[in-house]
Structure 1
Amino acid sequence: MRRVVVLTLLLVCILISQHSNAQLNEADYRKQAEEVRKYVWGLNIKAFGERNVPAEYAKYSKVVLAKYEEVTGLTKSKIKWIGFGLLPLRDLTYTHTTRELVKINDAAALEEYSEISFQKFAQRYNNKLTTFLGVRVIKADGTMKEINPDEIILTNNTNKDKKGKLAVSELQIGDMLDYFIQTVEFYNGGSTLDFENFVFADENPIMHYSVHVEASKKLSVEFRAMNGAPDFKETRNEENDIILDAEKTNIPPFPSNLWTSAYRQTPLLRFHMVMGYKGLGANYMNARKPGIIYKNLDAEEVVEDYKATLKNYVVSLRHEVEIYDNKLKKIAQSYLEANGGGKVKDNSTALYYATRHHFFLEPDKETVAAVDKKRNYSSPSDMVFLALLEALFKEFGIGSKFVLIPSKYGPKAAEVMSMSDLSLALLTEDNHIFTAISVFDSPDVIPYYLEGQQATTLDFHLGLGNSKAEKGSYSTNYTPAAKNVHTEDLVYYFDPANPQKIKVDRKATITGLLRLDYQQQLSLFEDFYEEERKGMGIEESFYEELKDSRKGKKIVEEYEHAFEEARKQWKENFKAEIEDQFNVKPEELLGCKIEQSGIFETKPAFKFNTQFTVNAWVKKAGNNFILDAGKMIGEQLKIKADQRDRKVDIYMPNARTSQYNLSIPVPKGYTAEGLDKLNTSLDNSTGSFITTAKLDGANVKITVTKVYKNAFEKAEKWPELLKMLDAAAAFEEAKIMFRKS
């Protein structure tokens, strides 16, 4: 592999010599692109010469005959003046090359590879990224044609952002595609790298997959082989740089597209390059040492990293809490007075609501902050929010400790490699738990992905020369299906004189973990703020809060305009939600309203109503009409043929209940037939699907209840869950006939 080192260093030097420019000019880019193509196409990897695909693989959309990934990291020393002295830093050039040889077996694969999009250049902060591309088409007779790189079309072209795409018009079903993408990133001193995941699995077969890593001896490397992935073989070159290689052949298809947890089920090598450091403060920062390979890093090291970072916030906020405590105490007290009374020192929930109001909802008096849908997706720094809350709790005599919780879609607690693998919460001594993920967070409700996990607690005791953080353990619980309920009350008005138009009156009530998606999609900040303000007992309105702004009336006018624009978009958000729910576009939105935002524990449900019309669900049959009743509750999940045989455990978002109550007035002069065929009952340990249909006076009444009883199921439970899913899918075809009397 000496050739890899030499050529990679050549490319790196070209890039480093020009890193002071915003980007490579076009001539330099073409020259370097040609060098990259010569290098990649010249790699001596036997698998890329393979042309025979086993006959049993013909049924798959595509077959990856060969896949190769190469990562290199090279450092360069520099000195930076930071105001009070010189700071030694290292720049890093990080190169990642991915090459694949793929057999195209059907139209889906052809569509996937007929156009390749990529980020040609990007500059963000002190980091720069340049990408090179090579594409060759191999016909069934063995002839090969390389696609001209001059045919790349720029879809975005600015000084700091260039995106491109290359059409592979020569590609046909039965062909092979040999392509590579190389990304060269220049990190200015002090920047950190993201983790790489080398995934030894795909929904289609992989015949050969190899990974090669080279890292400068000034770097350290962390990696972990997970879920049966091959381990890296470690070697060193003459300069004592780190070299790692891994390889696997004949990788069978892996079902990865339905209710799986990649970090817990998929074979992968998780890898990270870190700038090594052994200078002053290295132990305090828990820094990684240069040239060291950290294989299967102890999760306690990550907890120590988190503890060191979190401690800075805890120390700072405990010192600064007096800046906030009077103001937040006043807000907390107003909440209590508006909700039955009580003392702040006895109520962690009141302090949480006050802190939430301060972080998320207080008006920006100088600049118009986002008041549209984007606002619903904003989140604070969880460390700042929860460290302030912890300091407030301490100030008012409420004991609490921090909780570090892994995601069920991330590594297990014992396999975490990064602080980002853990989410932060705050647990009080009376067992209330608080998070800071979004404005819609509620006390004692944690995100679905943190349920059922083993967590670590940190209880900080700070003192002069005797600071420590006691570690403990904590387990998060799963919420039952009865706590996560989506109820739809629906009235459908059908007029035989205008059969193509159905009017729908809809009332939705959503609780527990099911609320957030709807809150983020449908909440309007202007209305949400008013509801929250009144619930908190805050007397001043939004505009009254702006009275002492330096911008005077201008800031009010700017907010009024922003609210007006947000309300226009809000109606479009409702239309999009209707289409998502019912799989049909509304013809006309007649009305929409949020009845309750679901942000207080005393009023936990998110409630909204809509009135709209659709041109769907009705077919004429002579003088009669057929209604697609099963489609009137929305599309049901259908399990594909290649998903039915499942060998891996099932990671669903959460246990949940969907309840639909339909009322369809029978038009005068018609009778309803076929209701008996709409009665279904299936119930087992994994879930249930129960429907009833009856004539109640002049109305057809249909109830549908669908329950997923558990968030996690072992693979052996799949056949039972499949029965419930199949029953729901079959109901989608249910019909009612309105027969002319």
Structure 2
Amino acid sequence: MKIKLLLLCTFACTTLFFGQSKLEIEAQTFFWGENDTFKNAVDIPEKWENESAVIIYKNENYDFHKFGKRVEYKSSIRKRIKLLDQASVTEFSTFTYQKRFNSSKGVYVYNPSNVIVGIKIIKPDGTETIIDIEKEAVEVDGETKVAMANLEIGDIIDYFYYSVEPFKSIEAFGFNPVEQTLSEEYPIMDYKLYFETENDFFINFNSYNGAPELKEIPTEKNNMRRYELTEKDIDKHKYERWFYPLVELPCYKFQVYFARSGRFENDAKAFLPEKEEIIKKTVSKEEILDFYKRYTAYGDLGSMERFVKENDFASEREKIIAVYYFARHHFLTQYVEGIIVGEANILASPFITTRTVPYLFSNEKSFIRHFMAFLYESDYDYDVIVGKKRYDGSLNDLLLERNTKVIIKVNTEIPVYLEAFKIHSDANQFHHLLEGTDVYKLSASRKRLDQIATGKLPQSTYKENESLKDITITLNDDISGFTYQGINKYKGYEKADHQYDKLIFKDYVDEDYQKYGTEPFMDKIRNKKTREKTRKELAALVEKLREKQSESLKKNIEAELDITEVSDYTYTIKETGRYGFDTYFTYDENFTVSDALIKKAGPNYILEVGKLIGGQVDLSDEERKRTENVHMNYPRSYNYNITLNIPEGYSVSGLDKLNKSVDNKTGAFISTASMSGNQLIITSTKQYKNNYEDHADWPLMMAFLDEAFQFTNEKILLKKN
């Protein structure tokens, strides 16, 4: 176990040493100097004496200042933690941080000592030791690790991270947002969040779910502003599965935006307050409309219009869906081979070689604007939908523009939803964390968005998001192992991860070329010698990718079935499932297994058939005490059809244990087992019926989860006749 230093702004840090540089002295003085009111704090409340550790003091600081064209951003955190048992001693025995720093805000002013890390150990007798990081730090896999030698129960670790980011910028930009709960896995006695800004720095900040408000502190200068948020006695919270902390726990969210003039303020990619001295806490419906008016219809529609002209469609809805998939190829997948050839250094300048000018949508906005233009020119009624993901709270709590997700709804007889496409994204699909959420609907009376209303996105069902496996098991002659033949099918939200894992670029690029009659990248290379050389090297790359992928899939199946090793593993893609949310991605896999799931018992054999449905949720005693609501990605079902060929001369005993049924409003686990000739037929279905359950219904969820887990422990007996 180890403690990882979580950097506060997504910028990782460079290695720093305790020396006597100006910045090091500044950092140590700031946290451990004469004004440190917590330097003698060692006692903890009686109510927390049985905790593993207690955070005596946690302090976060954010300072934003400008000096002409130069901007300086300081961020820091300090924690003073008392270790109360061996588990926490082990947890904190290694301090880990990364050694990188970068900035995307402007021209970064390089300073190899821009980050200071300090660690101090206080023994129960009051003895203090400052860790010599330069001496103790070691590099392991790109991380810097500092060993905490001789830690003991009762010790206090007092550490800080202090970062200064200087850079030059004349443009406007937003600093990375921070969204954080007050609670951690250990209770906190005293917490303080501190801000300091000045003119040209705009703040969006709000507290949620009962967290304290940010309070302004008087300053000596009119252009200087200070704020703080304080809290005491924060109970711990352990983050568990199916839990959204920002929805359930006291938290705060903020972003600071820098804009030197009114022009930059108007173009800012943020919902800015009217003035620098105002803390923006909410975003109104009118502000949403005003911001997204910038999404004007724009795009070269020639290719899409030709595609429509050259094809016939059964309905307007079918046309929209077909155009989406064509555009996915035209603006994305037709360039994939060229990009890979370049990245693999097979061709130095692939698109110059093929005399191609790639046109890819650079972001969500460019996709939305292009399809707005197509829909406007084709006289379709549509809405631009603005929403936020469920883990980030309700739409009424929207504060940060970066938390929005924008999609298009085409109002055909059955609506079609279009999201900025990725390699395997589908028409009529949007991010699963938007399902069932409240959203803003923006529409245009003419070409520009000028109307806004609220609405709700639809919710998929567990039947639409399916994992289906047809498995045939044939025992070998001496019953020491078996062959496995599996047909794996996934649809809805269940298939995307499998497509990315199991398809390489060759699988879908060639499919798209054939579907749309596009000239393949390779054929665009006019020089024959260059073309053949590129073709050969690309084929070698494909072969390596398939070998690597096969090995990865082999390890996945070993982990899924809890088998040490499988042999003769093969897989074959049958259907890519890339042209419809409700179409299956299908692949076959075959392998052999020895000395696994089978145990000899005299003349008979015990088969662990329950493991064939893969690992299931095994709830701990602590998880069974759940008091939080249950938040999941989407409703889903996992279905198995298993055929076990029984060797001649044997019969099956123990089928009754394979017949299970728990079915309630939260979900289900149902399994059946029966004999058909010399075949044992097992079917099972596990269903998560909703994406959210109230904590009061947790016992209902536990019922079907426990039944599924128990199934994995079930066995049958092959009895010698």
TM-score after normalising by structure 1: 0.84
Task: Identify the residue that residue 27 of structure 2 maps to in structure 1.
Answer: 36
- Select which of 654, 670, 682 maps to 1:674: 654
Tell me what 2:470 maps to.
Answer: 489
Separation in structure 1 between the aligned mates of residue 544 and residue 230 of structure 2, nearest angstrom: 55
2:6 equivalent in structure 1 = none
Which aligned pairs between 1:442-481 and structure 2 lie closer than 5 A? 442-460=426-444, 469-481=450-462
1:656 maps to: 636
Partner of 1:219: 201
Contact kept in structure 1, 2:179 and 2:252, CA below 8 Å? yes
TM-score by length of 2: 0.86
Report if the CA contact (8 A) 2:334-2:513 is conserved: no
Equivalence for 2:398:
416
SS in 1 for 2:430: coil
Please, which of 218, 221, 226 is the counterpart of residue 243 of structure 1?
Answer: 226
Q: How does 1:589-604 map to 2 (within 5 A)?
A: 589-601=568-580, 604=583
Q: Could you tell me which amino acid in structure 1 is paired with residue 382 of structure 2?
A: S
Aligned to 2:703: 723
Mapping of residues 628-647 of structure 1, within 5 Å: 628-647=608-627
- Which amino acid letter does the alignment assign opposite residue 474 of structure 1? G
Corresponding residue number in structure 2 for 1:690: 670
Deviations 1:520-545 (A, max 9, x none): 111121112233344x3426455335
What amino acid is aligned across from residue 71 of structure 1 in structure 2? Y
The counterpart of 1:405, out of the listed 387, 390, 406, is 387
Sort the Cα spacing of 1:33 and 1:629 in 2 relative to 1 into closer, same or farther, 3 A. Answer: farther
> Is residue 329 of structure 1 aligned with residue 305 of structure 2?
yes
What SS is found at the alignment partner of 1:681? strand
Residue equivalent to 1:354: 326
Out of 41, 57, 67, the residue aligned to residue 76 of structure 1 is 67
CA deviations on 1:606-632 (whole Å, 9 max, x unpaired) are 111111234532333344332222222
Q: Give the direction of change, closer, same or farther, for the CA distance of 1:72–1:496 in structure 2 (3 Å limit).
A: farther
Partner of residue 292, structure 1: 277
Instruction: Return the offset for 1:687.
Output: 0.8
Deviation at 1:278, TM superposition (A): 4.2
Q: Which residue of 2 aligns with 1:52?
A: 43
| 1:96 matched residue in structure 2 | 75
CA deviations 1:502-523 (Å, max 9, x no partner) are: 4321111111111111111111
Deviation of 1:307 after TM superposition, in Å, equals: 1.0
Alpha-carbon distance in structure 2 between the residues aligned to 1:168 and 1:94: 30
Residue 451 of structure 1 and its aligned partner are, at CA, apart by 0.2
1:508 and 2:492 equivalent?
no
1:556 and 2:530 correspond: no
CA displacement at 1:138 relative to structure 2:
3.1
Matched, 1:257 2:228: no
Task: Give the Cα separation in 2 of the matches to 1:588 and 1:306.
Answer: 58
In structure 2, distance between residues paired with 1:459 and 1:594: 42
Amino acid of the structure 2 residue aligned with 1:103: K
Distance 1:420 1:138 in 2: 42
1:150 has 2:134 as partner: yes
Seen in structure 2, the aligned counterparts of structure 1 residues 602 and 27 have a Cα distance that, compared at 3 Å, is closer
Q: Is the 8 A contact 2:120 2:131 kept in 1?
A: yes
Q: Equivalent of 1:122, from 80, 85, 101?
A: 101
Seen in structure 2, the aligned counterparts of structure 1 residues 256 and 25 have a Cα distance that, compared at 3 Å, is: closer
Mapping 1:356-395, distance limit 5 Å: 356-363=328-335, 368-369=340-341, 381-395=363-377
CA contact (8 A) 2:460 2:634 kept: yes
What is the deviation of 1:136? 2.0
Q: Could you report, residue by residue, the CA deviation over 1:269-318 in whole angstroms, capped at 9, with x for unpaired residues?
A: 1122221444346446575566323241324476257415433xx3xx2x
Query: Which of 585-594 and 57-66 deviates more?
Result: 57-66
Task: Give the AA of the match of 1:616.
Answer: A
- State the distance in 2 between where 1:652 and 1:92 align: 41
- Quick check: 597-606 or 281-290, which moved more? 281-290
**Alpha-carbon offset, residue 206 of structure 1:** 2.3
SS in 1 for 2:459: coil
SS at match of 1:122: coil
Alpha-carbon deviation of 1:371?
9.3
Equivalent residue for 1:137, pick from 121, 133, 136 = 121
Q: Which has the higher helix share?
A: 1
Structure 1 residues 50 and 704, CA gap change in structure 2 (3 angstroms)? farther
Equivalent position amino acid for 1:737 in 2? L
Instruction: Indicate the residue corresponding to 2:10 in structure 1.
Output: none
Q: Secondary structure at the match of 1:390?
A: helix
> For the residues of structure 2 that align with 1:49 and 1:549, how far apart are their CA atoms?
78
Q: How large is the RMSD of aligned CA atoms in angstroms?
A: 3.3
SS at match of 2:247: helix
Give the superposition deviation at 1:154: 5.3
Tell me which residue corresponds to 2:354. none
Which residue matches 1:18? none
- Residues 1:538 and 2:522 aligned together: no
How far apart in 2 are the matches of 1:578 and 1:107? 37
Can you list the C-alpha shifts for 1:675-713, whole angstroms capped at 9, x where unaligned? Answer: 211211111111111111223322222211111111111
Alignment of 1:192-231 (within 5 A): 192-231=174-213
For 1:328, the aligned partner's letter is M
Quote the offset at 1:453 in angstroms: 0.8
Q: Percent identity?
A: 23
Partner of 1:624: 604
**Cα offset for 1:220?**
2.2
> Secondary structure at the residue paired with 2:101?
strand
Amino acid at match of 2:94: E
Does the residue aligned with 2:420 lie in a helix, a strand or coil? coil
For 1:527, what is the secondary structure of its paired residue? helix
Q: How many Å separate the matches in 1 of 2:186 and 2:361?
A: 37
Shift of 1:473: 2.4
**Amino acid of the structure 2 residue aligned with 1:246:** L
Give the conservation status (yes or no) of the 8 Å contact 2:116–2:163. yes
CA contact (8 A) 1:217 1:290 kept: no
Q: 1:138 to 1:503 in 2, by over 3 A?
A: farther
Checking the alignment, whether the CA contact within 8 Å between 1:121 and 1:131 is kept in structure 2 is no
CA contact (8 A) 1:587 1:612 kept: yes
Cα displacement string for residues 647-698 of structure 1 (whole angstroms, at most 9, x for unaligned residues) = 3221111111111112222234433222211211111111111111223322
Q: Measure the CA separation in 2 of the matches of 1:491 and 1:526.
A: 29
Deviations along 1:561-617, one digit per CA (max 9) or x if unpaired, are 432332222213322432453344543352101111111139711111111234532
Query: Amino acid of the residue matched to residue 96 of structure 1?
Result: S
Offset, 1:111: 4.1
Number of equivalences: 681
Deviation at 1:734, TM superposition (A): 1.3
**Partner SS for 1:479:** coil
Counterpart secondary structure, 1:560: helix
Further displaced range: 242-251 or 650-659: 242-251
Alignment CA distance shift 1:290-1:405 (3 Å): closer
Q: Secondary structure at the match of 1:420?
A: helix
Distance 1:301 1:632 in 2: 55
Change (3 A) 1:641 1:343: closer
User: Displacement of 1:47 after TM fit?
Assistant: 5.2
Distance in structure 2 (CA, Å) of the matches to 1:356 and 1:496: 51
Q: Which stretches of structure 1, 4 residues or more, deviate above 6 A after TM superposition?
A: 22-29, 343-346
Structure 1 residue 100 displacement after superposition: 1.5
Q: Secondary structure at the match of 1:68?
A: strand
Q: Is the Cα–Cα contact under 8 Å of residues 17 and 116 in structure 2 kept in the other structure?
A: no
Q: Is the 8 A contact 1:379 1:439 kept in 2?
A: no
Instruction: Mark the CA change 1:343 to 1:74 in structure 2 (over 3 Å): closer, same or farther.
Output: same
